[in-house]
Amino acid sequence: MSIGKPSTGILIVVVGPSGVGKDTVIAHAARHFAADARVRFVRRWITRPQDAGGEDHRPVDPDAFLAHEASGGFAVSWRAHGLCYGIPYESREELNTAPCLIVNGSRSALPLFLIAFPRVAVVEITARPEILAARLAMRGRESHAQIAARLSHRPTETAISCQTWTIDNSEAPEKAGLAFISIIRDYVAAS
């Protein structure tokens, strides 16, 4: 697959540990920008059922995911916590008509995003450990042992050369959502 880069629109990659509230913050911004064609939100392919909770994703079985990946159907794909994640190749083309594209990503996949897209910014969502533990337990997708494993996981630092913001989502999600909206507005205004 050729990696040729699309237009000069920006891709904002949202990262942070599982359960930190990335989906909630992204959904808050998606509602705010619903009528604004300059801002679009990428729907990821994930090898998990649609009814597993969290983001609106395209559920796909592992064999179909691997076939789509092998055919060059993803701009970026990665594995984490026993699942496969993919960003559709078509999202690169969306940057020709939308100056700002938002995607729920992964810190470990950031080097791949930097290869596939000409302009990337990163928004890292964080939360205090006790908040994170409570959120993971509430969503009910994992056992106590799996939650403990997630909480003990320390991601490898990835050196990236792009604009990065950190938003603390330990309080009301609306507060983090408003902070994210402000970041997006700045990019749209500059385009």
Question: Of all residues in the chain, what percent carry a pLDDT higher than 90?
Answer: 57
Binding-site residues sit at 16-23
Residue 181 located in a structural domain = yes
Residue 71 located in a structural domain = no
Residue 156 located in a structural domain = yes
Residue 25 located in a structural domain = yes
Residue 115 located in a structural domain = yes
Does residue 5 carry a pLDDT above 60? no
Q: Are 62 and 48 in contact (CB under 8 A)?
A: no
Query: Looking at residue 119, what DSSP letter applies?
Result: S
Quote the distance between the C-alpha of residue 101 and its chain's center.
11
Binding-site residues for ATP sit at 16-23
pLDDT in tens, 117-175: 989 999 999 998 888 877 777 776 677 776 666 666 665 555 567 889 999 999 998 99
Give CA–CA dist 31/47, Å, rounded: 25
CATH assignment at residue 161: 3.40.50.300
Range of the domain at 176: 10-43+97-190
Residue 65 located in a structural domain = no
Buried b (16+ CB within 10 A) or exposed e, 40-63: bbbebbbbbeeeeebbebeebeee
Tell which residue, 68, 97, 74, has the closest CA to residue 3: 74
